[in-house]
Amino acid sequence: MNYLDRNEFNFEPSQKVVEAIRNFDPKTLCFYTRIYDQGKKSVVSVRLSEIYGVPEEQVLLAYGGEDILKNAIHYYLMKDPSSESHPSELEDGRVARGLGAAKGDNKKILIPEFSWWYYNKVAAECYGTFEMYPLHEQEDTFAYDVDEVIDYTNRIHPRMLLLASPNNPTGNSLTPEEIGRIMEHIPDDTMVLIDEAYASFITSDTDYIAPLVNKYKNLIISRTLSKFYGLPGLRCGFGFIGAGHDHFVSYINKYLGYNRFSEAVALAALDSDDHYRHVADEMEWGRQLYKKALGDKPGFKVYKSVANFILIKYPTAIKERLQKALAEQDYKIKFMTDKGLEDCLRITLGRKEQTQTVVDTILRCL
Ligand SMILES: Cc1ncc(COP(=O)(O)O)c(C=O)c1O
């Protein structure tokens, strides 16, 4: 099967990752890690601290980026002792906009429109009252309006603000300057979570992260080994948080350590940037092909992408034919169902021959 529907990795892992798996001593798993005797979470948080220049105490580790998001949202909307909030059960167990918060609690979370559906799910799990701020379609891209995000946040004054850069599925991103501007102009008791699951595809520059988390205590930046490092099956997410959140850091931390096999593979991946950068560069070929082959066809719009997927508006009259033709060749792409994007496809950027097959199949269905 050719899975081009979930932004996974259709290339080879790095040689170092392969060797780390081959050379892993199974006896390592007979013992817990002892790095916590040194007051550290994991060999991986130590390495990430070195790479990103953020103190180890401010490095977060979790079961994928999803788990960083889930822990942070659950904690800050439900458990944070600095807020007045307490879980308030709804009688029918249902959560919807405007419901769920007891008087005086701040369980509000602001989420981008057209974003990863999981944000809403997690907010709903902990009875959050979520609102969406708009993303604006411009020519061949979507964009945040930074001033609007600032205004919205000041008006709503949520406990959390979620930003995604690059955003899934629209593929647009924020610059470090824009992040700084947002942080500077919003209430400092709003916890900001920036989901940077796809950020390494834009640039290998990570120098902006340490100054931001040093300056803004209310900031979490979440990343993962699932996308750029191509290891979604490993379930390794990591993040960085402003100083002074010891209670949350302890909440998300694993008392007896992390999966030692995953740690070994994660270290090898973090040491393989050249390999993964080369793969990321190859994806440009796919972006160009989609643009060239479909960009000027009636009913199509190929949006600009800075991540490992591309969003394409298509004439929905071909939907069933296209679904059938792809299934016959064992291909899966994502037919969007989100409100406002029902006429879009989101396609993972895979190997050249996979991109060619998808393009040929779409053209054949017209
Ligand atoms: C925007 C976004 N954030 C985070 C994730 C989480 O990925 P993982 O839990 O594998 O790190 C995904 C996965 O598709 C995603 O699309």
Q: pLDDT tens for residues 41-74?
A: 999 999 999 999 999 999 999 999 999 999 999 9
Instruction: Write out residues with Cβ below 6 Å of ligand 1.
Output: 7, 64-66, 116, 164, 168, 195, 197, 224, 226, 232, 237
Q: What single-letter DSSP state applies at residue 314?
A: -
The answer to whether 180 and 97 are in contact (CB under 8 A) is: no
- Distance (Å, whole) CA 96 – CA 98: 6
Peptide bond into 55 cis (omega under 30): no
- Ligand 1 geometric centre to CA of 172 (Å): 15
Minimal CA–CA distance to 47: which of 265, 274, 276? 265
H runs (alpha helix) in the chain: 15-22, 43-52, 65-74, 118-125, 146-156, 176-184, 209-215, 246-252, 260-270, 273-294, 319-328, 352-365
Rg (CA), the chain: 21
Q: How confident is the model at residue 94 (pLDDT cuts 50, 70, 90)?
A: very low
Q: How far is the CA of 194 from the centre of ligand 1 (A)?
A: 12
Give pTM, 2 decimals.
0.93
Q: How many helices (H) and strands (E) does the chain have?
A: 12, 14
Best residue among 60, 67, 115, 118 to mutate for probing ligand 1's pocket (most ligand atoms within 8 Å of CB) is 118
Return the ligand 1 atom nearest residue 6 CA.
14
pLDDT tens string 241-265: 999 999 999 999 999 999 999 999 9
Confidence band of 87 (pLDDT split at 50, 70, 90)? very low
Q: For atom 1 of ligand 1, which residue has the closest CA?
A: 168
Q: What average pLDDT score do residues 209-213 get?
A: 98
Alpha carbons 276 and 4: distance in angstroms, whole number: 18
Which stretch, 9-23, 76-90, 126-140, has highest mean pLDDT?
Answer: 9-23
Q: How far is the CA of 104 from the centre of ligand 1 (A)?
A: 32
pLDDT in the model for residue 2: 97
